[in-house]
Chains A and B, each alone.
Chain A
Amino acid sequence: MSTTKPEQTAPAVVAPPLELAGDELLVVDDVKKHFPVTRGIIFQKEIASVKAVDGVSFTLKEGETLGIVGESGCGKSTLARCIMKLLEPTAGRIIFEGRDITNLSRAEMRPVRREMMMIFQDPYASLNPRKRVGFIIGEPLQVHGIGSDSEIKRRVQELLEIVGLNPEHYNRFPHEFSGGQRQRIGVARALAINPKLIVCDEPVSALDVSVQAQILNLLKDLQRDFGLTYVFIAHDLNVVRHISDRVMVMYLGHAVEIADRDALYAEPKHPYTGALMSAVPLPDPDAGRARKPVVLQGDVPSPINPPSACWFHPRCPRFHAGHCDVETPQLRPLGVEGHVAACHYPLEGWPLTEEEFRGSGAQLPPAADRDE
C-alpha cells in the first residue's frame, strides 16, 4: 500500500504503513507540497523549495473528526488546501471514498467537489461583500446545477434556519451581520450541497470566546444530525480537544504525533506536543500557576532550510547530540493502540516536572545557529 518516494531525503514517514479497513472516507497518503523558490527575472532558476507539507499520512472514517494542531507555518492550512485539491500536491495520494483523486482534472473533480466543502478562518474576508447572503449560500447549488431558482431559495432559507439565523435575512449583505453570524453563513454555505466531508480551517480563531462556543456547539450538532466528517484545523489545543475524535500534531510540515483524543491529551509522547500542552493557559488560577510551562526556545525554523534529521531537535528539551540530529525519527506506535509519535526519546508520562521533561542525558540543543 505504500508509495514510491520521488526523491532521496530522509526515509519516508508513513504512519505505520497505511492499513486500510476499506471504510475510510478520506485517505491521505504521504502527501507533500513543495513551493519552489526562484531567482532571476527572465530565466527563473529554482534555488530552493519551501517544504510546506513534507510527507503526511492519515485516514479518516465517516462521521469522525480529525483535529490538526500546530503553530503558524507548520503546514496545516497547506495540507487542508491539498486535501480540497485547491493546491496540487507535489507527491503522494489523496483517496476520497475509495477513489484516487490526486490526478483528476478540473472537470473530473467537479462531481467530487459536491462531497467536500471548506469553512474558512476569516468570516470577514471569506464572504463577498457585494453579494446578498441568499446568493452566497445558494451559489454552490447553482454551480452544481441543483434545483430551480425557487427550490434554491427554499433550500437557502432552510439552511439559514439550520445554522440559527433568521430566514428572512435572505436579502441582506454580509456587512449587516456580526462576526459570529458571518461564520454561521460560512457554515450554511458549506452545508448547502450536503457534503460528506467539511474541512474547517481555523473556523473559530477570529471569534470571541462566547461566539466561539456558539459555533463549536453548532458544528457538533450538525455532525450529529447530518453525519458529517470533519477535518478541523486550529492552533488552540482546547478547541481541538473539544471537537475531535483523533488529533494530529504537525510541526514543520510533518505529522509528529497522531492519537485518539483522550490518549493524546492524557499522555502526550512527543516533546513538542508536551511543550504545546504545557503552554496552554488554564482558566484556573491555582492549577495554572502551580504548573510550570515548558518554554521552548527560539522560533519555528524556516521550512526552506529545515533542520537535519528530527525537525524539532534545535528546540527540543530532550535533544541528544549524535542521534536526534543524525537519524530521522519515524512515526512509531507508542502507548495505546493507534497512538504514534516520531521521537527517539518519547515522554515517559504526563504531567512531568521540568527535570523529568528534559530526561536523562539530554544536551542543550544547538539552537543559536538556527534562530532565524
Chain B
Amino acid sequence: MALLEVNDLKTYFRTDDGVVRAVDGVSFSVDKGQTLGIVGESGSGKSVTCLTIMGLNPKRTAMSSGTALWKGEDLLTTTPKRLREIRGNEIAMIFQDPMTSLNPVHKIGDQLAEAMRLHEDVSKKTARARALELLKAVGIPRAERRLDDYPHQFSGGMRQRVMIAMSLINNPDLLIADEPTTALDVTTQAQILDLMKRLQDEFGSAIIMITHDLGVVAEVADDVVVMYAARVQEEGEVRNLFKRPNHPYTWGLLGSLPRLNQDVERLVQISGQPPSLLFPPKGCRFHPRCSYVMPICSQTEPELADVPEATGHHRVRCHLDQETKDHEAAKLIEGTLAEAS
C-alpha cells in the first residue's frame, strides 16, 4: 500500500463570479522514501492539491471530493482533531516564503519546541534539546546561541533551514514542500536541496516537491506529475518525462527553459494565457494554446493513458499520434523545436 494515495481529488471554490474548479480530478500516489515532483505554472492547482490533502482550505468556500488515503485513512473525511494530530507530525509542510511563515515575535528555539510539544508530551527541556539537534542537522552554525535569536536575525537561506528543521522535528513520514527554494539564490538552493536529500536518506521520509522549476525536479524527483488547468496532463518516472516527454505542454515547459548546456536562438514559447478555471475550455484543456491542435481536441478530452513502449510508469493525456509525439520530443531534446513551430 502506498503511503499516500490520492484518488480523483476535486476542490472547487465558491466565489462571487461562480465556481472555480481549482483541482479537477487529480490522482497520484507516493511511496515511502520516494520523492514526487508536482510541476505546473501558477494557477495550475498544484498548491491547492496539497492544501486540500492537509485540510487547510477555507471551510466556508471550499468544497472537496475524492479520497486522499493516508496509510489507508481518508484525510478528507477524518475528524479535525485527527487531522491536527497528523498535521505537523506525520505529514509536515514547508511553505514557499521563509520570510512570512515564521512568527516574527517569538524566538526560533521556542517556535521549534512548540511544534514538538503540540504533538508529544515532553518537557520544555527535552523539546529544546531536540530543537538544538535539528538546527545542527540542518547546518546552522553555532546553533546553541541561535536558538534564542528571532527570525529577523536570520538570512533567507537560514530561515528556510529553520523551516525545514521545524518540519522535521517530529520525524514526519511525508514532507510536502511547496516551492521550498524559489525565493532563494542558486547557491543557497543547492545547499537546501542537498540538505533535503541527505535528510531523506537518513530518516526515510517521502517528499512531495511542488515547483515550477523543471531543473529542481530533474535533480530530486523519482516521479513527476505535470499539472495544467487543474488536471494532470502527464505523469511518469522522471527519466521518461525528461527524455521522452509526450505532451505538448511539457514540451513548452521544457523548451521555454534557457539551458546552460544548450544553445538556442529562440526559446519555445507557449502562446496565450492559462485559461480561467471558472470556465475551463471544452475538450482538452490545453487546446487553445496548443500548436498541434486537431479538430477532436476541442470536442473530447483525452484520457490519461499509458504511453506505449514506455519503460516503467508513464501516462499522458493527449490525442496526438505516437509517431508525431516521439518525433517532436526528439526535436525538443536536440533544441530545434523553437525554429520549427
Answer yes or no: B27 CB below 8 A from chain A CBs: no
In Å, the complex CA distance between A289 and B186 comes to 16
Q: Interface residues, chain A, CB within 8 Å of chain B? A: 71-72, 178-181, 208-214, 216-217, 220, 235-239, 241-243, 265, 275-289, 293, 295-296, 298-299, 368, 371
A–B complex contacts, Cβ < 8 Å, 20 sampled: A209-B212, A211-B41, A214-B271, A235-B186, A236-B186, A238-B215, A238-B258, A280-B260, A281-B216, A283-B259, A284-B261, A285-B219, A285-B238, A285-B242, A295-B187, A295-B190, A296-B190, A299-B155, A299-B158, A371-B142
In Å, the complex CA distance between A213 and B341 comes to 14
B interface residues, tally (CB under 8 Å): 47
Return A204 CB to nearest CB of chain B, in Å.
10
Return A260 CB to nearest CB of chain B, in Å.
14
Return B305 CB to nearest CB of chain A, in Å.
23
In Å, the complex CA distance between A179 and B42 comes to 10
Closest to B44 in A: A208
Whether A282 pairs with B141 at a CB distance below 8 angstroms is no
Chain A positions within 8 Å of B218 at CB level = 281-285, 288
A-side binding surface: helix, strand, loop or mixed? helix
Chain A positions within 8 Å of B268 at CB level = 213
Answer yes or no: B3 CB below 8 A from chain A CBs: no
Whether B239 pairs with A289 at a CB distance below 8 angstroms is no
Closest to B333 in A: A284
Answer yes or no: B136 CB below 8 A from chain A CBs: no
Chain B positions within 8 Å of A209 at CB level = 41, 212-214, 253, 256-257
Whether A276 pairs with B155 at a CB distance below 8 angstroms is no
Other CB < 8 Å A-B pairs besides A209-B253, A283-B254, A283-B257, 12 of them?
Answer: A208-B42, A213-B255, A236-B186, A276-B186, A278-B190, A279-B186, A279-B190, A282-B218, A282-B260, A285-B239, A299-B157, A368-B142
Please pick, from A212, A213, A239, A293, the residue contacting B194 in the complex, using a CB distance under 8 A: A293
Return A297 CB to nearest CB of chain B, in Å.
8
Cβ contacts B90-126/A at 8 Å (1 or 0 each): 0000000000000000000000000000000000000
In Å, the complex CA distance between A220 and B194 comes to 35
Answer yes or no: B269 CB below 8 A from chain A CBs: yes
Chain A positions within 8 Å of B42 at CB level = 179, 208
Return B18 CB to nearest CB of chain A, in Å.
19
Return B141 CB to nearest CB of chain A, in Å.
4
Whether A289 pairs with B266 at a CB distance below 8 angstroms is no
In Å, the complex CA distance between A237 and B261 comes to 11
In Å, the complex CA distance between A178 and B270 comes to 15
In Å, the complex CA distance between A278 and B157 comes to 18
Q: Give the 10 A-B CB pairs with smallest separation, nearest first.
A: A281-B215, A213-B256, A242-B258, A279-B190, A213-B267, A71-B185, A210-B270, A238-B258, A283-B214, A371-B141
Chain B positions within 8 Å of A284 at CB level = 218, 242, 261
Answer yes or no: B79 CB below 8 A from chain A CBs: no
Whether A286 pairs with B186 at a CB distance below 8 angstroms is no
Answer yes or no: B88 CB below 8 A from chain A CBs: no
In Å, the complex CA distance between A243 and B264 comes to 10
Interface hub of A179, A211, A235 (most chain B Cβ within 10 A): A211
Closest to A209 in B: B256
Please pick, from A275, A282, A298, the residue contacting B219 in the complex, using a CB distance under 8 A: A282
In Å, the complex CA distance between A264 and B273 comes to 35
Whether A210 pairs with B253 at a CB distance below 8 angstroms is yes
Cβ contacts B146-163/A at 8 Å (1 or 0 each): 000000000111100000
Closest to A299 in B: B155
Would you list which residues of chain B between 188 and 246 have a CB under 8 Å from chain A?
188-191, 193-194, 212-219, 238-239, 242-243
Closest to A298 in B: B141
Q: Given A210-B270, A371-B141, is A296 in contact with B260 using a C-beta cutoff of 8 Å?
A: no
Chain B positions within 8 Å of A236 at CB level = 186
Chain A positions within 8 Å of B141 at CB level = 298, 368, 371
Closest to B42 in A: A208
Return A335 CB to nearest CB of chain B, in Å.
18
Answer yes or no: B252 CB below 8 A from chain A CBs: yes
Chain A positions within 8 Å of B239 at CB level = 285-286
Return A171 CB to nearest CB of chain B, in Å.
20
Return B222 CB to nearest CB of chain A, in Å.
10
Chain B positions within 8 Å of A281 at CB level = 189-190, 193, 213, 215-216, 218-219
In Å, the complex CA distance between A208 and B219 comes to 19
Whether A283 pairs with B215 at a CB distance below 8 angstroms is yes
In Å, the complex CA distance between A286 and B333 comes to 13
Whether A72 pairs with B256 at a CB distance below 8 angstroms is no
Cβ contacts B280-312/A at 8 Å (1 or 0 each): 000000000000000000000000000000000
Chain A positions within 8 Å of B217 at CB level = 283
Chain B positions within 8 Å of A276 at CB level = 186-187
Return A263 CB to nearest CB of chain B, in Å.
14
Please pick, from B41, B157, B190, the residue contacting A210 in the complex, using a CB distance under 8 A: B41
In Å, the complex CA distance between A153 and B298 comes to 39
Chain B positions within 8 Å of A283 at CB level = 214-215, 217-218, 242, 254, 257, 259
Closest to B186 in A: A279
Whether B269 pairs with A214 at a CB distance below 8 angstroms is yes
Q: Given A235-B185, A368-B141, is A287 in contact with B261 using a C-beta cutoff of 8 Å?
A: yes
Whether A239 pairs with B260 at a CB distance below 8 angstroms is no
In Å, the complex CA distance between A241 and B186 comes to 15
In Å, the complex CA distance between A277 and B261 comes to 11
Please pick, from B252, B260, B271, the residue contacting A241 in the complex, using a CB distance under 8 A: B260
Closest to A292 in B: B194
Whether B256 pairs with A178 at a CB distance below 8 angstroms is no
Interface hub of B187, B189, B261, B266 (most chain A Cβ within 10 A): B187
Chain B positions within 8 Å of A293 at CB level = 190, 194
Return B96 CB to nearest CB of chain A, in Å.
13
Whether B266 pairs with A220 at a CB distance below 8 angstroms is yes
Closest to A294 in B: B190
Whether A72 pairs with B156 at a CB distance below 8 angstroms is yes
Whether A212 pairs with B256 at a CB distance below 8 angstroms is yes
Interface hub of A214, A241, A265, A282 (most chain B Cβ within 10 A): A282
Return B314 CB to nearest CB of chain A, in Å.
13
Whether A217 pairs with B269 at a CB distance below 8 angstroms is yes
Whether B256 pairs with A279 at a CB distance below 8 angstroms is no
Q: Given A213-B269, A280-B215, A286-B239, is A238 in contact with B260 using a C-beta cutoff of 8 Å?
A: yes
Return A150 CB to nearest CB of chain B, in Å.
31
Chain A positions within 8 Å of B243 at CB level = 285
